[in-house]
Amino acid sequence: MRRVKIGTDEKLFRSMHRRYCDDLHELPAWDRFDASALEDSVREELRRAWSARVVAEYRSMVVFSELIARMPEAGLSLEVSCAASRLLQDEARHTELCQQIAERLGGTDDALVDVKRDLHLADENLRAELFVARWTVSMFCVGECASVGLLQALVDEGKDPCVSRVLETLLRDEILHDRFGWALARSVIPTLTDDEREWLSADLAFSFAHYDRVNGRGMRAEGGEVTVGPARSDGAERMGLIAPSAYAQAWYTRLDTVIMPSLRGLGLAANEAWMLRHEAAASQR
Ligand SMILES: [Fe+2]
Ligand SMILES: [Fe+2]
């Protein structure tokens, strides 16, 4: 396991990074950050949540870099690679912003990545078109698209000025990533063979299993609704952490209204994949 590495002694890397990261958004007024009113246990819960986001955002950056590496081989144009490189920089910005909040809440010693598991995409020797399609569907059409709904739910509750600034920056970027992902999916999926499209639909069950566990925590029974519990009022909601049931509700709403119909529109067997997610999860244990 390795800590997410942020910081460099090389001046050139630092100045380029600062220019790319800071030019496109308003920086939080960090001197206004104040978590002193929180109970210790709430502050620690928040710290852990933001520290986990450091790892998730860092992993997005790694995934995008692997996708970019195979875009030319998949026959995608120069514009696609160039546009995707902006996304990679966005994820670097997100990693850093989440790290800055987590540090102010007590530290990021637990922001660890498993080099083998977290910093590589499994490719099972897929040809480039299928590799790009697989991770576009998983990371963008499900992951990034869900992020828009989830971040909106956090933004709606976020009242701390620094945290709100960070959440709004993340949301603004994710809205673009979501649009990029669907455009990429529209570019690559039609180039697949029927067999590959079928494989992609089956693989979608694994993505649903992952995102439903992380975002929904299985809070919605088949055909039922999420029972939304009481909203948080311990100060965590002001700083980017809402009740699990409210978070799950945001996930299922996004899933029903955008993700599923759009995946079906791309010709993928999304309903079947959703039904098979428990089976997919069991096969991975
Ligand atoms: Fe991100
Ligand atoms: Fe993103």
What confidence tier does 193 reach under pLDDT thresholds 50, 70, 90? Answer: very high
Distance from residue 89's CA to the centre of ligand 1 (Å): 10
Distance from residue 106's CA to the centre of ligand 2 (Å): 25
Distance from residue 91's CA to the centre of ligand 1 (Å): 5
Distance from residue 64's CA to the centre of ligand 2 (Å): 9
- Work out the angle at residue 147's Cα, subtended by the Cα atoms of residues 142 and 153, and round it to the nearest 5 degrees: 135
Residue 49 carries which DSSP code?
H
Q: What is the mean pLDDT of residues 181-201?
A: 96
- Work out the angle at residue 244's Cα, subtended by the Cα atoms of residues 155 and 6, and round it to the nearest 5 degrees: 60
Number of domains in the chain: 1
Boundaries of domain holding 165: 2-284
pLDDT tens string 52-67: 999 999 999 999 999 9
Q: At what angle do helices 40-70 and 78-104 cross, to 10 degrees?
A: 160
Distance from residue 56's CA to the centre of ligand 1 (Å): 8
Q: What is the pLDDT of residue 123?
A: 80
Distance from residue 14's CA to the centre of ligand 1 (Å): 20
Range from 41-50, 111-120, 210-219, 250-259 carrying the lowest mean pLDDT: 111-120
Tokens of 82: 């160039």
Radius of gyration over every alpha carbon of the chain, rounded to an integer in angstroms: 19
CB 273 within 8 A of CB 201: yes
- The CA distance from 229 to 70, in Å, is 44
Strand (E) or helix (H) holding 103: helix 78-104
Number of Cβ atoms within 10 Å of the Cβ of 106: 16
- The CA distance from 80 to 128, in Å, is 15
- The CA distance from 74 to 238, in Å, is 44
- The CA distance from 268 to 232, in Å, is 38
CB 98 within 8 A of CB 61: no
Q: At what angle do helices 78-104 and 11-22 cross, to 10 degrees?
A: 100
Distance from residue 98's CA to the centre of ligand 1 (Å): 10
Q: What is the pLDDT of residue 30?
A: 94
Ligand with smallest separation from the Cα of 180 = 2
Q: What is the mean pLDDT of residues 114-132?
A: 88
Buried b (16+ CB within 10 A) or exposed e, 30-45: eeebebeebeeebbeb
Range from 107-111, 170-174, 221-225 carrying the lowest mean pLDDT: 221-225
Distance from residue 53's CA to the centre of ligand 2 (Å): 12
Distance from residue 195's CA to the centre of ligand 1 (Å): 32
Distance from residue 144's CA to the centre of ligand 1 (Å): 8
Distance from residue 173's CA to the centre of ligand 2 (Å): 7
Ligand with smallest separation from the Cα of 170 = 1
Distance from residue 60's CA to the centre of ligand 2 (Å): 7
- The CA distance from 191 to 132, in Å, is 11
The CATH number of whichever domain residue 216 belongs to comes to: 1.20.1260.10
Percentage of the chain beyond pLDDT 90 is: 81
Strand (E) or helix (H) holding 224: none
Q: What is the mean pLDDT of residues 68-91?
A: 96
Distance from residue 22's CA to the centre of ligand 1 (Å): 15
Helix (H, G, I), strand (E, B) or coil at 113: strand
Give how far Cα 174 sits from Cα of 73, 150, 178, 199, Å.
26, 10, 6, 27
- The CA distance from 91 to 174, in Å, is 9
Distance from residue 167's CA to the centre of ligand 2 (Å): 12
pLDDT tens string 83-114: 999 999 999 999 999 999 999 999 999 999 98
